[in-house]
């Protein structure tokens, strides 16, 4: 993040604080005045007798990722330095509002699930709870959140118990009969080949020799004849059949991971085939004319290193093969889709059977179906009809007898 002007925040893909509940349910209009609502723990929704506060929703937003936590802290710093202004607030609001709505929907769904889980007397394993609790406490300590509002130990324990209870409840949405079979996975793969396309790639091993190294005291030291060393290592492999991978492990100055893999360079996802995107011109030129098994000449690697590479294989562009890893990826995706479909069916029914009220300035109103299902045309149409019916009820009834007596 950076400030383009002393008091104007520029950001991408981050979220914000500070809105009243009414603006969270209504579409954001460009002409709306900016609101600076600073209630500590405003109640924004009631699900039967359970309440959901603004803080509850924002804690969920913080837990969704480190970027969210960073932004909340950054906002507080700007405010403490008196640099918070309407332009900053508007920029935050554009992203904060839809994110808040999403988390509020999830919070309402989970309140309904918890009520059902407790009614069915579901329980959480004490041993599993303690293990997860300790991991979460360690994480929150590192983030400096312990004992902050919403992050007291009892609050953390209660949230974790609810999270684990929700996991138990969600397990009921899939059974052994719903698990994908091999024909389901093969069919999905064949019908979605576009999802699994990959570009051309090369499998390459590299040996690097640095001309400058850092000594144990942290100072730079020049290595004499680094180029000559690289040439001699290459000669050992080309002329005397030394093993490339073992030579890389023993003599390369590359990263520990690359050395441990015998000089094999992998992609950020762990793929042993890499693309040329982002590679130096010297690296690309060294590889482009090689055939599998070929070894390049020594070339300058950056300003202070020399390297040479061996091409093991080339891979043409096309779909990934349906190997064990991709099979499991598709299997998880199909399971998730089936669970989500059943969960959505359950949620649709639960919303209709329970009392869910939005709260603004102490006044309650029933939350519209389209809030819960914004992409469902039936929910949008139901809300439209309900609004029209209310308008018809509010319309004054014409008194025909008085009219005829005039």
Q: Express each pLDDT in 57-110 by its tens digit.
A: 988 888 887 777 777 777 788 888 888 888 888 877 777 888 889 999 999 999
pLDDT at 397: 58
pLDDT at 203: 97
β-pairing, 318-319 vs 305-315, is unpaired
Q: Which helix (H) or strand (E) holds 19?
A: none
pLDDT at 94: 79
Q: With cut-offs at 50, 70 and 90, classify the pLDDT of residue 209.
A: very high
- Determine the pLDDT at residue 229: 96
Q: What's the pLDDT score for residue 30?
A: 36
Report CA-CA distances (Å) from 211 to 225, 243, 284.
8, 23, 21
Of 67, 62, 57, 60, the residue nearest 11 (C-alpha): 67
The pLDDT of residue 398 = 61
User: Residue 85: what pLDDT?
Assistant: 87
CA–CA separation, 306 vs 254, rounded Å? 11
Provide the pLDDT for residue 273: 94
The mean of the pLDDT values for the chain is 84
* 3-class DSSP assignment, residue 185: helix
**226 touches 305 (CB < 8 A):** yes
CATH 3.10.50.40 positions along the chain are 200-316
- What tokens appear for 263 in the block? 């000089």
Strands 212-214, 201-210: pairing is unpaired
Question: pLDDT tens, 291-343?
Answer: 999 999 999 999 999 999 999 999 999 999 999 999 999 999 999 999 999 99
State how far the alpha carbon of 134 is from the alpha carbons of 69, 130, 131, 137, in Å.
20, 6, 6, 5
- CATH architecture of the domain covering 200-316: Roll (3.10)
Residue 37 has a pLDDT of 34
Q: Which spans in 120-181 are helix H?
A: 126-143, 153-170
Which is more confident, 148 or 37? 148
3-state secondary structure of 183: helix
Question: Which residue is listed with tokens 């990934």?
Answer: 320
Query: Is the confidence at residue 50, as pLDDT, over 50?
Result: yes
Query: Are 108 and 45 in contact, with CB atoms under 8 Å apart?
Result: yes
**How much is the pTM?**
0.63
**Confidence at 134, pLDDT banded by 50, 70, 90:** very high
């Amino acid at each position: 993040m950076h400030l383009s002007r002393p008091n104007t925040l520029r950001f991408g893909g981050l979220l914000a604080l500070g809105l009243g509940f009414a603006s969270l349910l209504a579409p954001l209009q460009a002409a709306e005045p900016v609101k600076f609502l600073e209630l500590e723990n405003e109640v924004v929704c009631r699900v039967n007798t359970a309440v959901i506060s603004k803080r509850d929703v924002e804690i969920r937003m913080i837990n969704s990722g480190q970027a969210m936590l960073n932004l909340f802290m950054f906002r507080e710093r700007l405010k403490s330095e008196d640099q918070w202004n309407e332009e900053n607030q508007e920029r935050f609001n554009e992203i904060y509002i839809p994110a808040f709505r999403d988390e509020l929907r999830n919070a309402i769904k989970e309140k309904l699930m918890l009520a059902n889980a407790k009614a069915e007397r579901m329980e959480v394993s004490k041993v599993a709870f303690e293990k997860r609790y300790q991991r979460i406490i360690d994480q929150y300590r590192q983030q400096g959140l312990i004992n902050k509002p919403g992050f007291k130990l009892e609050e953390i324990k209660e949230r974790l118990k609810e999270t684990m209870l929700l996991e138990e409840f969600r397990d009921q949405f899939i059974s052994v009969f719903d698990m994908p079979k091999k024909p389901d996975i093969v069919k999905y793969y064949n019908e979605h080949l576009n999802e699994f396309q990959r570009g051309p790639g090369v499998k390459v091993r590299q040996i690097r020799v640095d001309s400058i190294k850092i000594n144990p005291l942290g100072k730079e030291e020049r290595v004499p004849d680094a180029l000559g060393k690289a040439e001699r290592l290459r000669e050992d492999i080309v002329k005397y059949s030394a093993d490339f991978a073992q030579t890389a492990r023993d003599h390369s100055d590359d990263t520990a991971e690359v050395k441990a893999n015998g000089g094999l360079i992998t992609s950020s996802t762990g793929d042993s085939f890499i693309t040329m995107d982002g590679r130096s011109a010297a690296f690309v030129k060294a590889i482009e004319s090689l055939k599998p098994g070929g070894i390049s000449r020594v070339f300058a690697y950056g300003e202070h290193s020399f390297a040479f590479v061996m091409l093991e294989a080339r891979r043409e562009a096309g779909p990934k093969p349906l190997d064990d890893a991709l099979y499991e990826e598709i299997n998880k995706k199909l399971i998730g889709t089936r669970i989500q479909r059943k969960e959505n069916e359950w949620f649709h029914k639960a919303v209709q059977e329970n009392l869910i009220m939005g709260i603004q300035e102490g006044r309650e109103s029933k939350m519209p179906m389209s809030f819960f299902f914004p992409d469902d045309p039936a929910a949008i149409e139901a809300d439209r009809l309900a609004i029209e019916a209310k308008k018809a009820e509010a319309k004054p009834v014409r008194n025909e007898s008085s009219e005829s007596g005039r």
